[in-house]
Structure 1
Amino acid sequence: MNHSSRQRRLTAAALTALAVAVSATACSSGSGSTDAKGAGSGTYTIWDPYPQFDKGSAWAKLLDRCGTEAGVKIKRTAFDTSDLGNKTLLAAQQGNSPDVLIVDNPVVSTLAEAGVITTTDDTKLDTSKADPNLLAAGQSGGKTYGTPIGANTLALYYNKKVLKEAGVDIASVKDWTSLTAALAKVKKAGKKGVTFSAIGTEEGSFQFLPWFWGAGAKLTGLDSAQAVSALSLWKDWLKQGYAPNSVLNNTQTTSWQEFASGDYAFAENGTWQLANARKAGLDYGVLPIPAATGGNAAAPTGGEFVTIPVQDDTARYTTSQKLTTCLTSNGNLYDTDTTLSYVAPTSEVQNKQVAANAGLKPWVDAVKSAKGRTSDDLGTKYPKISEQMWKAVQSALSGSKSPKDALTSAQDAVK
């Protein structure tokens, strides 16, 4: 694909979809320079969303090591997650894309639709070891764009002390009915039930999706009976006092802070809070979010994909593929995903993680049941659907509309 055709395809729609897609989950902060790569100089550029890792970090050293193995020098630039997608689109317009791009998985389909990243067929990248449900987040139109480097997702943290005082056996919590019964016992014992994030942003949709999917609902039908049952569950929890009204404004961070106070029995949150859980000194456990009638609900996957942007000089793909293969090899994934508090995207490395830390098993189970937000070939349709979903959640929980009416309005708006 030549530079001019890439330029034509970078539409306003792609930019709008990207702006929504990058506002999600567990993001780091920071920025980097936008210096161009030295074309033909034996230097390959890598952009990543990990500014928290400096030149002396294990991550930066891994990039350099992979470069050495491929026979090239690495020029790395780290961006804030929220900046990286837009910087990538701009670089493509200017014909100055990085050779390797590590990007939040919901953004992959937007970049693919804009024509700025290659397919694995283009670069002969082997993705056979990645778990299919995680790989699906980078698939669109029957094609695969890159490979996952790690995944995080949502589960229920629980406070063992609070549950013991309320007489709740965590083994009894297997579905929505038993979870709600546990919350009723906790409230009766004078403690607080469950906290989560229902804020009117992508974080709110991200946290609602396990319940939405756990009811059997599909993103193509926001007003289904299953979807209404999921929103009614949350609404009922607020009405009964099992969840606080603060969930309407809670981010995942403020929701976690509520749980860390030690008063709550449950909190919906992600793997990225594991270090904070240890710091809080709570006697906690982790439970995959139950589906309505039992089993594990599909929770949305967070985490990044390693992709290879389109280049005018397609001869660069061979080395870019070597770099990507090195970064996502089983030998390197364990250290990388441990550093990032991610669950690895391959079963072999997941098993190694659990062997080293048995506490990761609920997270591995949750990731194995997880689902990409842009899966089912939704691609760039997802941001619009998500926006209407979080608006419906806000309307229902605030009492301005019933769950059914809120979701009917949401589906009408998507159409």
Structure 2
Amino acid sequence: MNRSARSRLTAAALTVAAVTVGATACSSGSGGTSTKAADGGTYTIWDPYPQFDKSSAWAKLLAGCGTEAGVKIKRTSFDTSDLTNKALLAAQQDNSADVLIVDNPVVSTLAEAGVLTTTDDNKLDTSQASPNLLAAGQSGGKTYGTPIGANTLALYYNKAVLKEAGVDIASVKDWKSLTAALAKVKAAGKKGITFSAIGTEEGSFQFLPWFWGSGAQLTALDSDRAVSALSLWKTWLDKGYAPNSVINNTQTTSWQEFASGDYAFSENGTWQLANADKAGFEYGVIPVPAATGGDAAAPTGGEFVTIPVQGDTGRYATSQKLVSCLTNSQNLLDTDTTLSYVAPTTEVQDKQVAANPNLQPWVDAVKAAKGRTSDDLGTKYPKISEQLWKAVQSALSGSASPKDALDSAQSAVK
């Protein structure tokens, strides 16, 4: 590794701010930072799935891919936020894992730090991955891995609450019709919509479908379209269509409000599907509508499988075989079903829907989704996101108008 790459690593290690969302319920994990065994027949894989132990289907899949490639696998799992720092430190020590699976917004951080190889370097075929999902792993015109699966946001709805309010879900096609439905729900004595607007990345994550659905861009937080999106949320609070609790809600506490059975809608993700089935009432799912109709782009969650830079470049060929195995159609189907992810390829998405037709709205949402670091934002995204959630907090709390809050956000980003 050359001196400039080491300098980038040092800077990244000091400033890294991992962008994570509580998309999957991961317990804390631990593991050593040693990645290479003495013999060249052992390849190391780091992942953010400490909830899966040695007996899990995931661990068996990794071992099976190792067998197929003719090598042994040494797997180490870390909590999502811890994994980024461990990867940066290992790269400084020229001791990176052979295969690294990371949350998709982290890819640009690691790429800019010189930690990851490009697909041109490692010859990984990404042609089957959906372009909108692959974009989360692209920076400076180069691709740094392939998605293993995706989750995103959509609107869950309570069928009984909507029926009582006289709302036909088919009529909800844009912001105007959604707001009209919320007004009917309130008039019927029920509660409208709940979401997370907390002052963290979760708040930005939940606001982005409305922000992008207005036609706004993250490079211009103060645009008229951006103001319209924040004004929408503020109007819902002012009219009592959404509770004031959204200001402090995480995605988990927001879901708990919806699970009470009193709300018509909840903005939440694929990771709540199991909980939805246990809620005790009939529910449905629709993509978040854009301002004037159609599906809004919601942010993608999920991980990328990457191949870190190695001093011994001869290892890349086997690492590529391991990644190709993990992301082939059958293994994607098995893995994404386990993780409650929508697959990153159309072929496997079709198989998922064939097995479970209720996944269709989630597939539609993922097809419209967008990476938070897309548009070549890369490591600029965390700063933009922080100012965005601060603006949302200011506007919803009443300390600033939506326009003033977003003007301040844009000034801070500059």
Structures share fold, TM-score greater than 0.5: yes
Distance across 1 between alignment mates of 2:193 and 2:317: 50
Deviation at residue 282 of structure 1 after TM alignment: 2.1
Partner of 1:316: 315
How far off is 1:62 after superposition?
Answer: 0.3
Task: Return the letter of the residue paired with 1:202.
Answer: E
Tell me if structure 1 keeps the 8 A contact 2:136–2:374: yes
Given that 2:23 and 2:271 are in contact with CA atoms closer than 8 Å, whether structure 1 keeps it comes out as: no
In structure 2, distance between residues paired with 1:90 and 1:189: 57
Q: Within 1, Cα distance between the matches of 2:22 and 2:387? A: 15
Partner of 2:389: 390
* 1:210 and 1:299 in contact (8 A); partners too: yes
Deviation track 1:392-415 (CA, whole Å, cap 9, x = no partner) reads 000000000000000000000000
Alpha-carbon offset, residue 318 of structure 1? 0.4
Q: Aligned pair in 2 of structure 1 residues 263, 172: CA closer, same or farther (>3 Å)?
A: same
Contact 1:22 1:85 in 2 (8 A): no
Equivalent runs, 1:299-338 vs 2, <5 Å: 299-338=298-337
Matched, 1:173 2:172: yes
Q: Which runs of 4+ in 1 moved over 2 A?
A: 4-7, 11-16, 22-27
* Aligned equivalent of 1:74: 73
**Inter-partner Cα distance in structure 1 for 2:6 and 2:344:** 33
Output one character per residue of 1:74-112: Cα deviation in whole Å (capped at 9) or x when no partner.
000111111111110011111111000000000000000
2:411 pairs with 1:412: yes
Pairs within 5 Å for 1:1-400: 1-2=1-2, 4-13=3-12, 15-16=14-15, 18-22=16-20, 25-26=23-24, 28-34=26-32, 35-400=34-399
CA distance in 1, matches of 2:14, 2:64: 34
Shift in Å, 1:36: 3.0
Listed one character per residue, the Cα deviations across residues 271-322 of structure 1 (whole Å, up to 9, x for unaligned) are: 0000011111220000000000000000000000000000000000000000
2: CA distance between counterparts of 1:112 and 1:408?
Answer: 31
TM-fit CA distance, 1:12:
3.2
Change in CA separation of 1:226 and 1:27 when aligned onto 2, cut-off 3 Å: farther
Stretches of structure 2 lacking an aligned partner (at least 5 in a row): none
How much is the aligned-residue C-alpha RMSD, in angstroms? 1.1
Query: Does the 8 Å CA contact 1:30/1:78 hold for their aligned counterparts?
Result: no
Indicate conservation of the 8 Å contact 1:134/1:345, yes or no: yes
Give the residue type in structure 2 aligned to 1:317. Y
Instruction: Calculate the TM-score normalised by the size of structure 2.
Output: 0.98
Query: CA separation in 2, counterparts of 1:215 and 1:198?
Result: 17
Aligned counterparts of 2:134 and 2:307: Cα–Cα separation in 1: 15
Change (3 A) 1:20 1:390: farther
**One-letter amino acid matched to 1:28:** C
After TM superposition, give the deviation of residue 41 of structure 1 in Å: 3.1
Change (3 A) 1:24 1:407: farther
Q: Give the letter aligned to residue 376 of structure 2.
A: D
For residues 143-195 of structure 1, what are the alpha-carbon distances to aligned partners after superposition, in whole Å with 9 as ceiling and x for unaligned?
A: 00000000000000000000000000000000000000000000000000000
User: What secondary structure is seen at the aligned counterpart in 2 of 1:10?
Assistant: helix
Secondary structure, counterpart of 1:158 in structure 2: strand
Q: Helix, strand or coil: the match of 2:105?
A: helix
SS in 2 for 1:21: coil
Shift of 1:22: 3.4
- The alpha-carbon deviation at position 14 of structure 1 amounts to 5.8
Deviation at 1:262, TM superposition (A): 0.4
> Deviation digits for residues 16-57 of structure 1, max 9, x if unmatched?
3x3242356445222121233215431000000111111111
Sort the Cα spacing of 1:39 and 1:6 in 2 relative to 1 into closer, same or farther, 3 A. farther
Aligned partner of residue 412 in structure 1, secondary structure: helix
The separation in 2 between residues aligned to 1:70 and 1:27, in whole angstroms, is 31
How far apart in 2 are the matches of 1:117 and 1:172? Answer: 47
Contact 2:12 2:88 in 1 (8 A): no
Deviation by residue 1:357-388 (Cα, 9 ceiling, x = unmatched): 00000000000000000000000000000000
Contact 1:20 1:202 in 2 (8 A): no
Aligned-partner residue type, residue 336 of structure 1: T
Aligned residues: 413
In the superposition, the TM-score normalised over structure 1's length comes to 0.98
Letter in 2 for 1:129: Q
Change (3 A) 1:212 1:276: same
Structure 2 counterpart SS, 1:130: coil
Distance 1:15 1:212, change over 3 A: farther
The secondary structure found in structure 2 opposite 1:411 is helix
Of residues 90-99 and 314-323 in structure 1, the stretch that sits farther from structure 2 once superposed is 90-99
Between 153-162 and 21-30, report the one with greater CA deviation: 21-30
Give the partner amino acid of 2:149: G
Q: Is the 8 A contact 1:27 1:81 kept in 2?
A: no
Kindly tell me: are residues 92 and 343 of structure 1, through their superposed partners in 2, closer, same or farther at Cα, counting changes over 3 Å? same
